[in-house]
Amino acid sequence: MHIDSASREQLQEWEKELSAQYQRICEHELSLDITRGKPSADQLHLADKLDGILNGDYRAADGTDTRNYGGLDGLACARDLGADILQVPSEEVIAGGNSSLTLMYHAVLTGYLFGFAGNTPWRELENPKFLCPVPGYDRHFSICEQLGIGMVNVPMTDSGPDMDAAEELVRNDRDIIGIWCVPKFSNPTGVTYSEDTVDRLAQLGQIANPGFRIFWDNAYAIHDLEQQVNLPSIRSATLANDTADSVIQFASTSKVTFAGSGVAFVSSSPANLASLKQQMQAMTIGPDKVNQLRHSRFFAEFTMLKEHMQKHAEILKPKFACVLEQLEKSFGESDLGEWEKPRGGYFVSFNTRPGCATEVIKLAADAGVKLTPAGATFPYGKDPEDRNIRIAPSFPPLEEVDTAMSVFVLCVKLASVRKQLQMA
Amino acid sequence: MHIDSASREQLQEWEKELSAQYQRICEHELSLDITRGKPSADQLHLADKLDGILNGDYRAADGTDTRNYGGLDGLACARDLGADILQVPSEEVIAGGNSSLTLMYHAVLTGYLFGFAGNTPWRELENPKFLCPVPGYDRHFSICEQLGIGMVNVPMTDSGPDMDAAEELVRNDRDIIGIWCVPKFSNPTGVTYSEDTVDRLAQLGQIANPGFRIFWDNAYAIHDLEQQVNLPSIRSATLANDTADSVIQFASTSKVTFAGSGVAFVSSSPANLASLKQQMQAMTIGPDKVNQLRHSRFFAEFTMLKEHMQKHAEILKPKFACVLEQLEKSFGESDLGEWEKPRGGYFVSFNTRPGCATEVIKLAADAGVKLTPAGATFPYGKDPEDRNIRIAPSFPPLEEVDTAMSVFVLCVKLASVRKQLQMA
């Protein structure tokens, strides 16, 4: 199907055909949901032994009674786990509660209210703003929006954010005090940042406002589908560029053990960790160390974590394959859309022809297939070209992913044809 | 021992005698700690069955898969548990993470940055401040201090905060936008607010800035040592006074199950809960529902929770009795200090003669007995009369509490006598 070269008659014929197909699908009264990057029950089941793993022994190897108060940094063995995931030293890791998003929120709050490492609090700037590689993760954008921190779009490429654009913006605007990054299997495009991108990001700290911080949300650090994809170390790169204070890294076991009941980690330079702990100490006496101990026992060796992730991959692979096959089959020889082929993570990002995403999502919803709302992958929910749709195949069973994708491709075709007819 | 009526010779004789005793104690090289309200290992052990209680069944009664993302309000059965503890409807409860302090921090943050229920954010006031009944809980004060919210002392009486003073302050200063309350077994005095106090607090909302909120930290709601002490319902009182939006209540299972790994609760009017959730939704996808389910299973009925608390009381009672006996024996017939006899909670609050607390704490520390720092129970760490010392007997074994208290009473005597000699 090639829209651009199709005649009006051809488009009208397609429209009639596709509308008829769409009507038939609507009659099935489907109720499918491929909106959020949630693990499936099968994946969660892999960690069912977590509850009960302590067997009455609540003491950590270092003697800490995990049941009692205390320990703002988290349990030593949990910090080791975070260090393994992020490939950083344990001393630079804080093991927190059940959510890396919460750690990110508090890190933004720290920068905004108090400033990192003695720098000016962001709220004292005229118009503090973050760079937001787009499409990106809606929950990152929500944090900025809630705190009134502005957001500036930077296009994503297949090697990470467009660094020419990022450097230009940072150089010319001292109010840019952060950037959101999902550096491996980026949400939603699935891209892993290249060595060059990581290097150039590490150099931003040399030209930016000294309070500038890279929020390195390594949510999919160990979530490879096939062979391991290597993400260059941002820590090494910043150390080499004398910008170690410019990066704050995050990870969690949310998509490793239990999505709502894992352990989250933050890692940064000693100066930044001190700022974070300054904020934290008014807020908490310490994280849930019992759950941290459970995780340390469950993953006594890092190899056990890696083996565990392979089991996740076995469950996820057919679902990703299904999505990609459907897209390839329907659009491989067409001008109806573009997508990346992710080698890990939780999403497939699809770009429709300009101006079609909202209509595709509406058509799919009316046919009983819930997709992430149009614009959700952009700051303020505004996709300037109305093109991006995030597909999240992890949660539903494979058959449902397949059915949902059949509906999806049909809706893309129908919306594209109708749009072209309107424009013609 | 009566200091005020003692002659200089008598004081000098006492000083000599007490100094000699103190020297002998110092030789023992003790290392004891009665600083923080932590449960003992024996108490924590009561809940050891929590880990493993799910027995592989992670589904809540309402069908929720607790292992996955979602549910900002917390699990329905956990909200029921919070409702039982706070004696409020479940719909008015959010079940959160492992710390009520964290919920309080976020509630203050909500008022400060965004405002509750459409009211002006506190940060937009010229000089926002909280009333702080003193002595009080240091961690409450730290939240205000971190956010730059001013604090105004209000004296505690044996029926709660001095309400004449509180009303006067609220009436005359529109910048007063909150008050910290530990209404049952107050930290540290052990006082439970009277019906009259609760009623008058509920009426503050009629005269205060509409953004004014009572932070009702009911940390010891079910922590009675002997027969149950009844705290009048602040919810009923505010409903009767049409001030339901003026109160936010907190509780947790930190001193019920595990101190660092319990479940915390916040309860308030629908309008306030909406404001809290507005803030929360940018920060988290939801609390640790697996741990909430553990707690719901462990306390399947509220009677089981009450029986559990009786076991805590059995462990705590001898320690409190020991503290009170030592105080009574040493100071019952003296002018050296005053204290309340708490019927629950975690503390005994002792007031020395004016100007002696710092010296008592220093003497005790030098003799190897760690006490809460002088001033800790006051905003900014400043006890204007340098009198208050918080004694926390829960954590150490009974013998250690007994030894620590022997040192304590000796230090009080010695500091009091020396002070009087200096002044004479």
Sequence-separated (6 or more) residues with CB below 8 Å from residue A318: A398
Sequence-separated (6 or more) residues with CB below 8 Å from residue A206: A241, A242, A243
SS (H, E, C) chain A: CCCCCCCHHHHHHHHHHHHHHHHHHHHCCCCEECCCCCCCHHHHHCCHHHCCCCCCCCECCCCCECCCCCCCCCCHHHHHHHHHHHCCCHHHEEECCCCHHHHHHHHHHHHHHHCCCCCCCHHHCCCCEEEEEECCCHHHHHHHHHHCCEEEEEEEEECEECHHHHHHHHHHCCCEEEEEECCCCCCCCCCCCCHHHHHHHHHHHHHCCCCCEEEEECCCCCCECCCCCCCCCHHHHHHHCCCHHHEEEEEECCCCCCCCCCCEEEEECHHHHHHHHHHHHHHCCCCCHHHHHHHHHHCCCHHHHHHHHHHHHHHHHHHHHHHHHHHHHHHCCCCCEEECCCCECCCEEEEECCCCHHHHHHHHHHCCEECCCCCCCCHHHCCCCCCEEEECCCCCCHHHHHHHHHHHHHHHHHHHHHHHHHHC
Residue in the structure block whose two tokens are 């809540």: B60
Q: Nearest-CA neighbor of A33 among A404, A387, A317, A363?
A: A404
Q: Is the pLDDT of residue B424 over 90?
A: no
Question: Do β-strands A213-217 and A176-181 pair in parallel, antiparallel, or remain unpaired?
Answer: parallel
pLDDT in tens, B255-289: 999 999 999 999 999 999 999 999 999 999 999 99
The ipTM value here is 0.96
**Spatial separation of the C-alpha atoms in residues B213 and B199, rounded to whole Å:** 15
Average pLDDT of chain A? 97
pLDDT in tens, A284-320: 999 999 999 999 999 999 999 999 999 999 999 999 9
Facing A98 at nearest CB: one of B53, B97, B145: B97
Which chain A residue's Cα is nearest to B123? A113
**Spatial separation of the C-alpha atoms in residues A322 and B64, rounded to whole Å:** 28
> Residue B52 and residue A55: Cβ atoms within 8 Å?
yes
Q: Nearest-CA neighbor of A84 among A299, A268, A286, A230?
A: A299
B282: which chain A residues are within 8 Å (Cβ-Cβ)?
105, 139, 142-143, 145-146
Measured CA distances, A93 to A62, A74, A237, A274 (Å): 17, 9, 18, 11
A290: which chain B residues are within 8 Å (Cβ-Cβ)?
51, 258, 260-261
Is the Cβ–Cβ distance between B305 and B296 less than 8 Å? no
Q: Is the pLDDT of residue A424 over 80?
A: no
How many alpha carbons fall within 13 Å on the CB side of residue A271?
Answer: 14
Query: A190 CB near a chain B CB, below 8 Å?
Result: no
Kindly state the tokens that stand for B167: 């009303």
pLDDT for position B354: 97
**Spatial separation of the C-alpha atoms in residues B180 and B158, rounded to whole Å:** 16
Q: Nearest-CA neighbor of B294 among B254, B263, B335?
A: B263
pLDDT in tens, B155-212: 999 999 999 999 999 999 999 999 999 999 999 999 999 999 999 999 999 999 999 9
Q: Is the pLDDT of residue A65 over 90?
A: yes
Q: How far apart, in Å, do the first and last CA atoms of chain A sit? A: 17
> Residue B289 and residue A261: Cβ atoms within 8 Å?
yes
Sequence-separated (6 or more) residues with CB below 8 Å from residue A183: A160, A192, A193, A198, A216, A217, A218, A231, A234
pLDDT for position A262: 98
Q: What distance lies between CA B83 and its chain's CA centroid?
A: 20
pLDDT in tens, B197-234: 999 999 999 999 999 999 999 999 999 999 899 999 99
Facing B69 at nearest CB: one of A56, A68, A260: A260
**Spatial separation of the C-alpha atoms in residues B258 and A74, rounded to whole Å:** 16
SS (H, E, C) A101-131: HHHHHHHHHHHHHHCCCCCCCHHHCCCCEEE
| Count of CB atoms situated within 10 Å of the CB of A249 | 27
Q: What is the mean pLDDT of residues B11-15?
A: 97
Q: What is the mean pLDDT of residues A145-163?
A: 98
pLDDT in tens, B383-401: 999 999 999 999 999 999 9
**Spatial separation of the C-alpha atoms in residues A10 and A3, rounded to whole Å:** 9
Residue in the structure block whose two tokens are 């894992």: A262
Question: Which residues sit opposite B215 in a β-bridge?
Answer: B180, B248
**Spatial separation of the C-alpha atoms in residues B148 and B153, rounded to whole Å:** 16
pLDDT in tens, A108-149: 999 999 999 999 999 999 999 999 999 999 999 999 999 999
Query: A69 CB near a chain B CB, below 8 Å?
Result: yes
A143: which chain B residues are within 8 Å (Cβ-Cβ)?
282-283
> Residue A69 and residue B285: Cβ atoms within 8 Å?
no
| Count of CB atoms situated within 10 Å of the CB of B16 | 11
B288: which chain A residues are within 8 Å (Cβ-Cβ)?
97-98, 260-261, 288, 291
Residue in the structure block whose two tokens are 């109010």: A175
| Count of CB atoms situated within 10 Å of the CB of B287 | 28
Task: Count contacts between A and B (CB, < 8 Å).
Answer: 161
Is the Cβ–Cβ distance between B364 and B379 less than 8 Å? no
A66: which chain B residues are within 8 Å (Cβ-Cβ)?
258, 260-261
pLDDT in tens, B307-321: 999 999 999 999 999
pLDDT for position B282: 98
B286: which chain A residues are within 8 Å (Cβ-Cβ)?
260
pLDDT-derived band at A230, boundaries 50, 70, 90: very high
pLDDT-derived band at B36, boundaries 50, 70, 90: confident
Secondary structure (3-state) at B349:
strand
pLDDT-derived band at A20, boundaries 50, 70, 90: very high
> Residue A260 and residue B287: Cβ atoms within 8 Å?
yes
> Residue B286 and residue A260: Cβ atoms within 8 Å?
yes
- Segment 82-111 of chain B within 8 Å of chain A by CB: 97-99, 101-102, 105-106, 109
Average pLDDT of chain B? 97
Domains in chain A, CATH or no CATH each: 8-43+306-423 (3.90.1150.10), 68-300 (3.40.640.10)
Kindly state the tokens that stand for B105: 């921090």
